[in-house]
Structures are given as structure tokens and as C-alpha cells.
């Protein structure tokens, strides 16, 4: 099978790579770019451990082809922090104990990041619905909800301070 050359920006860095048309984005990120934050979980898009942000949308990279990202901007969990400063969602998960084993955490962080861009002032039920495509087998979700609430508040405070 012949490879296809793709150009993609991942975490603000441009890449040009030849990939097989059947290469899944999760494998491209982990094996070609050595970005192992997104995890391989179910490989059926049910668990969300592989969630990344592509052109402003949450995408489960285990069922998305790398060639579909040609010309796109991809953000992984490795790209959330800015110059060593945690993003508000990362800080929220840390401060509110939004993780236990950590396997689902990269996908949760990426979905929370995009969700809060879509809905900056969510209610608890909106958070639960907005995060429902990402599964956690350890936490019972309460602290994940608290973490997203923490991040929403912090992001709002930051916007108010810069306005």
C-alpha cells in the first residue's frame, strides 16, 4: 500500500510525514510523533481515553485516520500546558482529585478543555452530559465534575482579569 504525505500541526508544531492510508491517528501520534499522552483504550471510540482536539472539535483518535488530519491543527494533552504552567483543566483535575489510576485522564482533560470552550459556564448536569463520552472506571465521576467546575471558574476569572 502506498503512503500518503500529510501535513499536520500538532501542539503548535508542524509535521510532514508519509503515512499509510489505514493508519489510525492514535497510532500516528504515539508511534510516529512519540506523543503517548493519548491512550489506547477500547479502540471502538466508546471509552474516550484517546480523545484529542482537531480543528476545534473533540475527536476520538482510535477511530480517526491520520490522513483525515491533513492540513489540520491537532491538540493533545501534551499541548495543554503553556511554558510549564498547567492549563486550568489540568489544575482542576490536580486540585480536585479528578483522577485515580490516570488511564482515562488525558482523554478527560482534552474533552473538558473543548467542552469548556463550547460551554464556559456549565451546570453540573451539563458537565455530566458534556463529558459522557469519556468513561472512567475508577472515580465515580464526582471529582471529575468538581475538576471541570474548578476549571470553568478559573477560566472565567482569567477572562475577567484580562478584560
**How are strands ordered across the β-sheet holding 13-19?**
13-19, 4-10, 73-75, 51-54, 57-60
- Mean of the pLDDT values across residues 19-45? 96
Distance, in Å, from the CA atom of 151 to the CA atom of 163, rounded to the nearest integer, reads 18
Residue 1, pLDDT above cutoff 80: no
Looking at residue 139, its pLDDT comes to: 84
Q: Which residues contact 83 (CB under 8 A, 6 or more apart)?
A: none
Looking at residue 160, its pLDDT comes to: 86
**How far are the Cα atoms of 60, 90, 118, 151, 153 from residue 160, in angstroms, in the given order?**
32, 20, 18, 14, 11
Distance, in Å, from the CA atom of 79 to the CA atom of 30, rounded to the nearest integer, reads 14
For residue 101, the domain's CATH number is 1.10.150.120
Burial class (CB in 10 A: 0-12, 13-18, 19+), 135: middle
Model confidence pLDDT, tens digit, residues 87-117: 999 999 999 999 999 999 999 999 999 999 9
On whether both 64 and 98 belong to a single domain, the answer is no
Domain range holding 129?
88-162
- Residue 124 has φ and ψ, to the nearest 5°, of -60, -45
- Residue 24 has φ and ψ, to the nearest 5°, of -75, 150
Number of domains forming the structure of the chain: 2
Model confidence pLDDT, tens digit, residues 52-83: 999 999 999 999 999 999 999 999 999 999 99
Domain boundary among 79, 112, 144: 79
Looking at residue 153, its pLDDT comes to: 98
On whether both 68 and 112 belong to a single domain, the answer is no
Domain boundary among 44, 79, 114: 79
On whether both 14 and 71 belong to a single domain, the answer is yes
Domain boundary among 58, 79, 100: 79
On whether both 98 and 70 belong to a single domain, the answer is no
* Reported pTM: 0.95
Amino acid at each position: 500500500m502506498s503512503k500518503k504525505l500529510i501535513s499536520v500541526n500538532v501542539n503548535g508544531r508542524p509535521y510532514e510525514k508519509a503515512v499509510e492510508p489505514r493508519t489510525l491517528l492514535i497510532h500516528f501520534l504515539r508511534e510516529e510523533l512519540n506523543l503517548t499522552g493519548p491512550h489506547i483504550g477500547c479502540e471502538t471510540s466508546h471509552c474516550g481515553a484517546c480523545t484529542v482536539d482537531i480543528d476545534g472539535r473533540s475527536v476520538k483518535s482510535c477511530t480517526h485516520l491520520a490522513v483525515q488530519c491533513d492540513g489540520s491543527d491537532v491538540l493533545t494533552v501534551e499541548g495543554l500546558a503553556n511554558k510549564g504552567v498547567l492549563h486550568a483543566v489540568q489544575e482542576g483535575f490536580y486540585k480536585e482529585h479528578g483522577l485515580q489510576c490516570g488511564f482515562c485522564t488525558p482523554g478527560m482533560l482534552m474533552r473538558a478543555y473543548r467542552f469548556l470552550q463550547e460551554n464556559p459556564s456549565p451546570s453540573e448536569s451539563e458537565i455530566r452530559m458534556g463529558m459522557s463520552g469519556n468513561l472512567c472506571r475508577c472515580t465515580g465521576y464526582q471529582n471529575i465534575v468538581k475538576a471541570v467546575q474548578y476549571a470553568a471558574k478559573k477560566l472565567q476569572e482569567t477572562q475577567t482579569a484580562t478584560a
